[in-house]
Structure 1
Amino acid sequence: MAGPRRLLLLLLLPLLVLLGAHPPQCGSAEEGTKVSLELYYESLCPYCSRFIVNRLAGIFEDGLIDAVHLRLVPYGNAHVASNSKISCQVAVALYYESLCPYSARFVVNHLAKVFADGLREVVDLTLVPYGNARIHPGGEISCQHGPYECLLNTVEACAIDAWPDLDVHFSFIYCVEDLVVKRQYKDWESCFEKLGLDAKPVTECYKSEHGHKLELKYANQTDALEPPHRYVPWVVVDGQPLLEDYENFEAYICKAYKGTPPKACEGLERLQMALETAAEARNGVSYNSGVSKLATAEDEGGEHKVGEY
């Protein structure tokens, strides 16, 4: 008489994943009557792991494997990023402009947390330094907070291009935005020495046509947003714009992540569910028009073209 586990598996087998008997074609009659069983899973999913260890392994112990065509597909809820690499991380994008005070404070006081609390490992972070800028006929770019913002937007775009490693270019952008918060942004070049970075690749980039092309690329990415951005900072997590709730982006990351939650996620999912019911916006934004008081008199109203400094 079959054991309880064998009977249970025989009952559940047709219900698992993509099942069906192969019609007899080539091979013996015994092979033609095997049941097809496919398991789609991901390696760090606790439910997947427990199923494999506590349930699926049993068919090898009691001989049921002889009646099964077993196929394992280790991919699960991963996604293919724009660079064609498979990623299990949560996609996070920040659309911002360098001299927006709200953008600067978000980078310094909130976004930087993911590098300290362990969320960095589960996040695929993209920075897009363009914001509410405008492109004019001939390709000239004007920025909401004046030409110095256009300069720093390009500098930060060049940093991303020169140092593709997120930890490196974010440390530089953090340094610049920290100076923005302190209203000392014209000392931005001091960040090279502070971080021990070679200034040459960024300097050559922002003074060249290459820097301008990078900003045009970020302009296209910003203009392609759906729905369109209405202000900055504009934070998108797993394809979802967070609107005015952007400061709580970590809770959205934890909700979207499909693997074992990092320690930093403890309590954040409950916070996120509570925040979703809130009707009032709490966080500052810089709308897609007007000039901030942060721009100095010499900065306001000007247009900037790469190479003109």
Structure 2
Amino acid sequence: MSLSHLRDLIQCHTPFSVPENIRIHTDTTQFMDIKAGDCIAVQNRLFYVKGEEFEGRFGLDGEPKFWVKRVVDLHDGSVKILKLAFFESFFMHLGEERIRCFRSPHKESRILERTTSDTRFMQGVTLYDEAHNPVRVIERIAGPTFYDLVHNVPMDHETYYYEVFPGILTHLMKAFYAIKDLHQMGEIHGDIRNDHLIVEHTTGRYRWIDFDYTYEWPGQPHGVDLFGLGNILLFAAGKGFHTLHDLKSPRSPFQAALPTLREEDFSLFIPNRLMNLKKIFPYLRETLNKVLMHFAAGADVFYESAQEFMEDLEIAFRSFLWEVPHGP
């Protein structure tokens, strides 16, 4: 394809001016060198790079993820995400446990293949560049993160709990069952967070994204995923997280609860985060609070499987079906 033809093709699919000189990358090893205005050619497919995706934790755009490119598929003009091979590792601490976490592009490729057509998960395919690097071509999901969905609900907690939370929990149950099914395939998500669950605009579905992290925790192969599910449930039930710092604030409405709080009421995973929500929201269903307390520092028993987690959460969910509507 001539440069002139390539420029015309790009111009057909983007309203922005096209650079005079377009670099075409067939080896994505040095992903930092691939910039907006370049093209990536892989397995007879051509993608025009518009920029990088950003890490969006806590509702804010953070650092650019240089290995994750926002692109236009020059075959049909659709916007896609290309995830290039990037390897990093670190250790996380859970109580006294030290757990190695690392990125595995091949693991994400495997999950994409195994969850094809399962709309509870992001969809995509893996292509390989000339250096045999895996290039994951991801279908973009339009919609807010679960974090933004809950964070932006404009009402007090009690109204939210009775009027909004049951509907949210209905969708969360489907998303949590998706993780249980993933575990039964012998896979893990690896990085379950509130911003890795997208609420699709067009369908309202809750869909999981980003599967390239994995971890090594001997004896607890699903442990980090389970604590991730617990944190999402906590965030949903509490309409946000409630930390000891926030609870001690002079503006906090929970001053009266402070003398009742104990170390065992807080998260084993994040010690400053309150798990025992019933101490600040007394109307919270005991069946729901019981699930949350399995992730607290004072727990005698922790969940070892998503099946156990879902069995208890099913009991809590059914209690909402019988909930007497909250009066004025």
Question: Of the two, which has the highest radius of gyration?
Answer: 1
Higher helix share: 1
- Tell me if TM exceeds 0.5: no
- TM-score, normalised by the number of residues in structure 2: 0.26
Higher strand share: 2
* Structure with more relative contact order (C-alpha pairs < 8 Å, separation 6 or more): 1
- TM-score, normalised by the number of residues in structure 1: 0.27
